[in-house]
Amino acid sequence: MATLILVGGLFLLLLLGVPVAFALLLSSLALILWDGMLPTLIVSQRLGNALDSFPLLAIPLFILAAEIMNHSGATERIFKLANTVLGRIYGGLGHVNIVASMLFSGMSGSAVADAAGLGAIEIKAMKEQGYDPGFAAAVTAASSTIGPIIPPSVPIVLYGVISGAAIGELFLAGFVPGVIMGLAMMAYIAVIAKRRNFPRDPEFAGIPAIGAAFVSAVPSLLLPVIILGGIWGGVMSPTEAAAAAVIYSLLLGLVVHRSMNLWNVINSFTLAARSTATIMLIVAAANIYGWLVSTQQIPVVVQGFLVNITDNPTILLLIIAFVLLIMGMFMELIAILTIAVPVFLPVAVATGIDPIHFGIVTVLTLMIGLLTPPFGLNLFIVQQVSGASYSSILKETWPFIFILIGVLIPIIVFPQISMGILTLF
């Protein structure tokens, strides 16, 4: 009965359209009131304790750094550099879209920040050059999923906090899969570019133009070097690196590029505060829910059920990824992380799956969920930016969904794709 109240109540509230954070809180409170043995005071205690975490502070700082970079002109410089180098080839702006997202991912760590910030520039440029708005939006939605895989990454930070896994190692393990995602998408664009006669720049920009674009973008490109170099070099923790990213991005916008004013700074802080409030409320509510899940021995039940199906780590991870993919079609990424990780991680570890590998697989699977209907948050974002119809965007997005699934499966089957880089450090 307790499990029915906790799990059934959550999904009932979600089906009724109750916001995720409140659905988690109400289902948890319902169990506490039904049980009668737990004091209701525990709700407020758990809400406060959930956010009393130094590593968790990295999330609002990375979000703030991304907002400042979007307002500082860094995104335009990165896009211009990628376009100067790749604009001449068939489907040039499609490739530029992917490469710019890979570069920007080292600064934002957020798929939504990429789609909403850099995506607006990419879609506008592609539409002006004659690309179909649906295709431009689909490429942008797909490329933005690279951001949380190539470090730094807001979802990976949250996974690290929930799981206790080393965030620096998670960042390292995400690098190669993120690059593979980008290359796979570019391969698809290259295959269909001539078939659809995609537009391209009339002539090669030239070495001087490339050099000028590179020099202009260097200060922005140094940000991921500072973040990742500081973490992997042992100089900074992820949270300290996030704080350094905020300071550096402010210096870029106010001093180096001089492209920001006081209003831009205030706007960046406001947008970051809104995003942070949404995430942190879900995290706090999920802490109570996860604690109750643990007390009801739900992970043990799930483990027994899955082990009865198979004790093969690869097959088990494929099953978990499938479940997460289905959840991603209906729920928000942060909510899935906070609900599913406490349930599935003990099962994965018990069968010999490394928590670092599990984290990369989990985040990559949930990135695919950002593209899948009916929820598909990235699809709604690029629809607003592009003005294209939802159906036209979805039609062009399906190949990218299958490409990402094609990247995910080898990463599950061959853990060294993500874990191999750890041996170098």
| pLDDT the model gives residue 398 | 93
pLDDT at residue 114, rounded to an integer: 61
The model's confidence at residue 103, banded by pLDDT at 50, 70 and 90, is confident
Task: Specify whether the CB–CB gap between 422 and 173 falls below 8 A.
Answer: yes
Q: Tell me, what's the pLDDT at 229?
A: 80
- Helix ranges (H only) for 164-237 are 167-193, 207-232
The tokens for 121 are 């520039």
Q: Check whether 72 has a pLDDT greater than 60.
A: yes
The SS3 of residue 421 is helix
Q: Is 181 a residue whose pLDDT tops 90?
A: yes
What is the Cα–Cα distance from 158 to 33, expressed in whole angstroms?
29
- Split at pLDDT 50, 70, 90, the class of 118 is low
- Cβ–Cβ < 8 Å for 359, 165: yes
Instruction: Give the pLDDT score at 191.
Output: 87
Percent of the chain topping pLDDT 70? 92
The per-residue pLDDT for range 81-99, each reduced to its tens digit, is 887 887 777 778 888 888 8
- The per-residue pLDDT for 425 is 66
Of 69-83, 237-251, 352-366, which range is least confident? 69-83
Nearest Cα to 140, choosing from 400, 412, 411?
A: 400
Residue ranges covered by each domain of the chain: 2-29+50-424
CA distance 378 to 398: 13
pLDDT for the residue numbered 294: 72
Q: Which amino acid is located at 425 in the chain?
A: F
What pTM did the predictor assign?
Answer: 0.82
Point out the least confidently predicted range of 51-55, 107-111, 117-121: 107-111
- Highest mean pLDDT out of 200-214, 260-274, 278-292, 403-417: 403-417
Residue 112 has pLDDT above 80, yes or no: no
Q: Residue 44 and residue 332: Cα distance in Å, rounded?
A: 24
Determine contact, residues 345/356, Cβ cutoff 8 Å. Answer: no
Say whether pLDDT at 172 is over 80.
Answer: yes
Confidence at 117, pLDDT banded by 50, 70, 90: low
Per-residue tokens: 188: 């698809």
pLDDT of 361: 95
Angle at 393 between CA 88 and CA 375, to 5 degrees: 135
Q: What proportion of the chain, given as a percentage, has pLDDT over 90?
A: 13
Asked if residue 240 lies in contact with residue 23, where contact means CB atoms within 8 angstroms, the answer is: no
Q: Does the pLDDT of residue 67 top 60, yes or no?
A: yes
Q: Which of the four pLDDT bands, split at 50, 70 and 90, describes residue 157?
A: confident
Q: What is the pLDDT of residues 313-334, one digit of tens each?
A: 999 999 999 989 888 887 778 7
More confident residue, 92 or 365: 365
